[in-house]
A and B are shown apart, each in its own frame.
Chain A
Amino acid sequence: MDRIKGVELSGAEIVVRCLQEEGVEYVFGYPGGAVLYIYDELFKQDKVRHVLVRHEQGAVHAADGYSRSSHKVGVCLVTSGPGVTNAVTGIATAYMDSIPMVVLTGQVPTHAIGQDAFQECDTVGITRPCVKHNFLVKDVKDLAATIKKAFYLASSGRPGPVLVDIPKDVTTHQCEFHYPETVTMRSYNPVRKGHAGQIKKAAQLLAEAQRPMVYTGGGVILSNAAPLLTELVQRAGFPCTNTLMGLGGYPATDRQFLGMLGMHGTYQANMAMQHCDVLLAIGARFDDRVIGNPAHFAQNPRKIIHIDIDPSSISKRVKVDVPIVGNIPDVLDDLLKQLGGAKTQDIAPWWKQIEEWRARDCLRYDRKSKIIKPQFVLEKLYEITGGDAIVTSDVGQHQMWAAQFYKFDKPRRWINSGGLGTMGFGLPAAMGARLANPGATVVCVTGESSIQMCLQELSTCKQYRLPIKIINLNNRYMGMVRQWQQFFHGNRYSESYMDALPDFVKLAEGYGHRGALIDKPADVEPALRDALARKDELVFLDFITDQAENVYPMVPGGKGITEMILSEEL
């Protein structure tokens, strides 16, 4: 884009022009005093479409779901003060899961900054710990270059949200518009290629492994490395597990997939993690919900190869032997070449052991129950959608069951807040996912507590005709909290019972949608089929599920990953 000599644009026009230059389809936002000029410019054009949410948290989660389901940068726009503070939960959620996002925030005019002006808050200060980077633009001449930087930073290296705070007067000041083609920053140069020597070492270790294991996380999804990962795992014949964030990185229906690992991981995945002799970790960070107690994890000696774009993720909780910093697809490409000729060990005995573990069938549940089992709903959902839906979730038991029972064969189909664990994420994220994937079946798996945290977005769904299917696994409890209280707090269900629940069917109808209550196992499948067949309608399915059901296996906090509590069914 060439500089238009002599033509001066206002800051607000520049903001919108920048978004157009970036090819932004949707901005998720909510207006207010500090951003009125920007809204005025949005009004005057139709390239960038604005999605009006009902709460700023919803805007950020929607931009987040848009990004997770499409690999594009999510964009949101909120006003100063309360607009920003409402957005913070969403920003922190995106930050924890490394989601590329640009957040534009209005600010009071530059001369009023620091004066405790109406709707002023220190946006850059408040958000600093939960963004990849942030900027306050004080001069309209810096605006375009800063927005360019924001998009570049958000989407390169380890992605993350980047915030640009724009004072109101800057949106009225004028200057020539020039959108830079490229960004160079001497302080920021993310690597791509991995170290050749390290990759060679890794290949050697893998070739010598008797009990190899591949463990991958969100990094594989974010870097679009799923095809290469699949090729590597299948060529080598190794077992593979995914973290909660990494589901879909490797096809879940494949025999070599051991299921999710971690606190609610499968028996076989957690056992194989603990007992392998060479562990290949890719785009994962050994977090506490995944490997449990690091001291316990270290009790079994194993060699660890760790591929990640972020050096600070390597050897943070677990010492690794072969660190490889780089962009995952680049590294996997090189690793595949290295592995090409190498002879691997006969790992049949290892597989035999794994199959024994797998035979424990740790996800078994009572299929004859007269009360609806949440697992059953998810199994049916999987069956009926053929594994082809985009599934978002909230946080709690339903999230874990969705992760366990919906088999994701492809990346970017499973969208959940794994890092921050934000209740309220599911519905707005589903809105973003549906806008990014018009025509796709988008399902939000939620609980009666979580759904109420961003329920207002039902109104947004109506306005933009987003035919999301809401699967409310209604156990009349904050189930995950109740489960912890049952296991670790002597069955004292302190404040985890949701009394006075609304009639969700009426509620959905009140927002102009369809609702249905399902309380018998036999009605589960027909209800799902009916809802999924309604391509143009949002359907809220309120499943009255077993209140006492728990998520198994479970590794209690602070325990080793093999110290699992298994279902009494077993």
Chain B
Amino acid sequence: MRHIISILVENEAGALSRISNMFSARGYNIESLTVAPTEDASMSRMTIVTVGSEDVIEQITKQLNKLVEVVKVVDLSEAEHIERELMLIKVRAGAKEREDMKRMADIFRGRIIDVSDNTYTIELTGNGHKLDAFIQALDQGAIIETVRTGASGIGRGNRVLRI
């Protein structure tokens, strides 16, 4: 099963490698990993998407908690949560394709953020499925470059992760 794990971690040099090391050393898988400081600059928040059986996920959360710099860990997928990912995608947009490409971006609520004679760069936010769907919907030959941030997540309603 796919799980999305949120981690509050001390914003210290090496914390990221400690966490990613732990995953590789124990053979756990990382589908995506995002990290940035929170409103409190001394702390970072990390979102890791991983796949594993219930037992594996239990071990992952325990092993994360065991790391000295990890402040809190929550498996967001245990309850209602929201997940978002940002994608920037550069596509061919010459005179012929321009209209179509614009329409496509609109359908997916993407925004064109950079334009050149023959390209558009589109910004698209959503869950992973939506970003996948957009890529699928495009003529594969039209895609020049994509970059995705990996998922970030947050609990719904009163469900919060803070210290």
> A: which residues have CB within 8 A of B?
124-125, 128-129, 132-133, 136, 153, 185-188, 310-312, 315-316, 319
Contact = CB atoms under 8 A, between A and B. Distances in A.
A185 B163 CA distance: 12
A125 B20 CA distance: 12
A133 B66 CA distance: 10
B127 interface: no
Contact of B66 (A136, A186, A310, A319): A310
Interface in B62-112: 62-63, 65-66, 68-71
Contacts of A136: 13-14
B55 interface: yes
A311 B10 contact: no
B25 interface: yes
A187 B10 contact: yes
A194 B71 CA distance: 21
A187 B71 CA distance: 4
A497 B152 CA distance: 58
Contacts of B62: 311-312
B17 interface: yes
A315 B10 contact: no
Given A128-B21, A186-B163, A312 B69 contact: no
Given A124-B14, A128-B17, A316-B59, A187 B70 contact: yes
B58 A315 contact: yes
B18 interface: yes
B45 to A, nearest CB: 13
Contact of A315 (B13, B55, B63): B55
A133 B17 contact: no
A128 B18 contact: yes
A125 B163 contact: no
A187 B58 contact: no
Nearest to B55: A315
Interface string B113-129: 00000000000000000
A319 B59 CA distance: 12
B71 A129 contact: no
Nearest to B22: A129
Contact of B68 (A125, A129, A153, A310): A153
Contacts of A129: 21, 25
Given A125-B17, A128-B17, A187-B10, A312 B63 contact: yes
A129 B10 CA distance: 18
A134 to B, nearest CB: 8
A186 B59 contact: no
B125 to A, nearest CB: 31
A40 B87 CA distance: 57
Nearest to B9: A187
A7 B14 CA distance: 33
A160 to B, nearest CB: 10
29 contacts: A124-B14, A125-B17, A128-B17, A128-B18, A128-B21, A129-B25, A132-B68, A133-B69, A136-B14, A153-B68, A185-B68, A186-B163, A187-B9, A187-B10, A187-B68, A187-B69, A187-B70, A187-B71, A188-B68, A310-B66, A311-B62, A311-B65, A312-B59, A312-B63, A312-B65, A312-B66, A315-B55, A316-B59, A319-B55
Given A187-B70, A312-B65, A319-B55, 10 more contacts: A128-B18, A128-B21, A129-B25, A136-B14, A186-B71, A187-B10, A187-B68, A310-B66, A311-B65, A312-B66
Contacts of B55: 315, 319
A133 B70 CA distance: 12
Nearest to A311: B62
A312 B59 CA distance: 6
Contacts of A153: 68
Contacts of A132: 68
Contacts of B71: 186-187
Contacts of A319: 55
